[in-house]
Amino acid sequence: MEKINLKALWIEELESFLDKLGEKKYKAKQLAKWIYNKGVTDFEQMTDLSKELRRKLSEVAYIGKLKLTRKQVSKIDQTEKFLFELSDGKRIETVLMREKNRVTVCISTQVGCALNCIFCATGKSGFERNLSAGEIVDQIIAVKGYLKEDEKVTNVVIMGMGEPLLNYENTVKAIRIIQSELGLSISAKRITLSTSGIAPEIYKLADERLKIKLALSLNAPDDELRRKLMPIAKKYPLSEVLEALKYYAKKNDIRITFEYVLIKDVNDSEEQALKLAKLIRGIPCKINLIPYNPIKECPYKKPDEETLIKFRDILYPRAPAVTLRRSKGEDIQAACGQLKAGM
């Protein structure tokens, strides 16, 4: 009989698994805490479980873990990028960022991406498959093993490879594990999910009441330009996406983050800044302006500093909050839009 990977299971599934072994369901919480909270992969280390249960578990199950293939460290800001190999040989990238009192892990939800946004390296690599909930969570567990002695993960951003809402069930399951005291104990207000705007799934996510922060990869102030930059915009126009975001903000009492990658001579004009301010009017939000991070597959360039500042200053105070965000790890291709799993 093929052994079961327990890292893909959560409480109800672990209860069912233990029930089939003839064990009490309450032990599922103990098992979950060892797997996710403590990151243990050896049943013999689970000392509050009986020897007999540990023996049974070792015969029918295992606890999978990611294989580190390569780790790179930025010489500029000490950002770390991890290339992990999955059990089937597929590869994903995960990023660790440090800033003041924050230690943030940027995680992936898919191997590659099907959306093919024209400024993003991940999309250029194509789509291979969704990650399981266990593989999503395991990125954080794996990275925790490389933290300094006095560090702990404070924030999680679901902004790595892939579109999280196209892997909806596994992403939501992973978020529940990340939030749980039996899991990684990271509060909802410290988890941010970034989407390209899959409107129906935004409504579904709102109704989950997970209370996590939601960011939209916007990148254009109108549908015409957005469709050129992001093919998914042909399916979900801005009017539809913005209505979904308003619903999310109201349902979860959270302000939306709009991410806007500034590309030289594409979406960085004064006129576009004014259109952007008008577009987001009435939505509780903040805007993160992200200077484009070059990739060799694309001809685009980053705007000069004067243009960046001018764009920001036009937006604020027309928009309630605007940040010009400097990307981390650009020298190791770990910045926004640069992940492609060594492909």
Residues noted as catalytic: 93, 336
Percent helix, percent strand, percent coil in the chain, to nearest 5:
40, 20, 40
Q: Classify 30 as helix, strand or coil.
A: helix
Residue 317, preceding peptide bond in cis (omega within 30° of 0): yes
Q: How far apart are CA 102 and CA 105, in angstroms?
A: 10
For the record, the structure tokens of 315 come out as 């937006």
Tell me, rounded to whole angstroms, the distance of Cα 161 from its chain centroid: 8
Instruction: Count CB atoms within 10 A of the CB of residue 242.
Output: 20
Lookup result for tokens 């992403």? 171
Contact 135, 161 (CB under 8 A): no
Instruction: Count CB atoms within 10 A of the CB of residue 157.
Output: 18
For the record, the structure tokens of 151 come out as 């560090």
Find, among 327, 337, 249, the residue nearest to 288 by Cα.
327
Q: How far apart are CA 172 and CA 10, in angstroms?
A: 12
Q: What is the dihedral of CA 132, 136, 137, 143, to 10 degrees?
A: 140
Question: Alpha carbon of 34 to those of 71, 103, 341: distances in Å?
Answer: 26, 23, 29
